[in-house]
Amino acid sequence: MTAPFWKLRSLFAILFVLLAVNFLAAQTVRHPSHLTPSGKGWGAEDENGPEEQKPISDAVVTGNGISYHGGPVMKANPVPVYFIWYGNWTNGPHASDSQTTINLLNSLFSSGGIGGSGYERINTTYGDNSGNVSGGLQLSQTTFDNYSRGTRLTDSGVQAVVSSAISSGRLPNDPNGVYFVLTSSDVRESSGFCTRYCGWHTAATISGSDIKYSFVGNPDRCPNACEAQTTSPNSDNGDVDIAYNIAHEFEQATYDPDLNAWYDSNGAENADKCAWKFSPLRTASNGSRYNQTLGGHNWLIQMNWENARGGGCDQTLGGPFYSN
């Protein structure tokens, strides 16, 4: 999009923070996830949870509050995921900058975790002219980057971190995967982390391939903006907040990888339409809220927009739609 359109979206983002309204991110070179609105409410408790249904058949389905614009979706089963742990993730300024957080998140996105769950199968309601998103994902490989671009990253710096990981051979060149630059809490993303977004995704030609990648910062850098709660059901503050920001960006990267597939009339992608909505909720023994048990741990994951049954936010394919 043009520079004036980008500036217009910036004004909307500022209004979202100041007025605490539902901001829908406009289609542009990337899609920032929503900041936490003040006065945000929690959803209802649910001890049983909704039952799952089978995914729909391969088709471009429209008329459910979100529109198809002709671009491809990611149909690999599973979609490979690559983590680049940037900065100091073993002894950073916050407790969540830890090996414990790394282990928990690696577990969530590995076999037996979120991939193939009823939650991920919501994405099977999105397709292109040759098939649908699989609903599968698999953490394929991880690597560390010890501040190669310093503690202040620009958007181009994030791309450079991904490019370096691929060109050096630390990660493979995989146009069918999604690469995440996950920054420790002392790292700033200068285009608006904590003030305009909590994460974003985009695509670029890197080493001759169409590489899909995302930035997600440690929300402990700005808990009032990017954390839904200050405690964790896993007793590791920050892990659940990083998890749902990663999930938010992964959902969008798989069904709108090149920013030309699925979004609504306001430019909002599926996870944008359900940002900061978490029903149905349960309460852990330490008082923290959670809504998913995946990979042997409890997680607070925002709902996703199901492109079926008229459209709505839910936690599992075919489950009840919730408004908060």
Instruction: Give residue-wise pLDDT tens across range 29-74.
Output: 444 455 654 334 445 554 444 434 444 456 699 999 999 999 999 9
End-to-end CA distance of the chain: 31
**Mean local confidence (pLDDT), 230-247:** 79
Residue 237: the pLDDT is 56
pLDDT at 17 over 50: no
Residue 188 bridge partners (DSSP): 152
Mean pLDDT along residues 137-142: 97
What is the pLDDT at residue 34?
56
**Is residue 264 pLDDT above 50, yes or no?**
yes
**Residues 215, 158 contacting (CB under 8 angstroms):** yes
- Whether the CB-CB separation of 57 and 131 falls below 8 Å is answered with no
**Selected residue with higher pLDDT from 285 and 215:** 215
Give the residue-averaged pLDDT of 25-29: 36
281-301 pLDDT, tens digit per residue, is 999 988 889 999 998 899 999
pLDDT of the residue at 228: 87
State residue 268's pLDDT score: 96
Given a cut of 80, is residue 169 above it in pLDDT?
Answer: yes
Q: Which of 78, 177, 76, 52 is nearest to 136 (CA)?
A: 78
- How much is the pLDDT for 111? 84
What separation in angstroms does the CA of 93 have from each of 72, 168, 184, 196, 282? Answer: 40, 29, 8, 22, 30
Beta strands in the chain (DSSP E): 67-68, 79-86, 127-128, 131-132, 137-145, 152-153, 178-183, 188-189, 199-206, 209-217, 262-263, 282-283, 289-290, 292-294, 297-299, 304-306, 312-314
Q: Work out the average pLDDT over 144-149.
A: 98
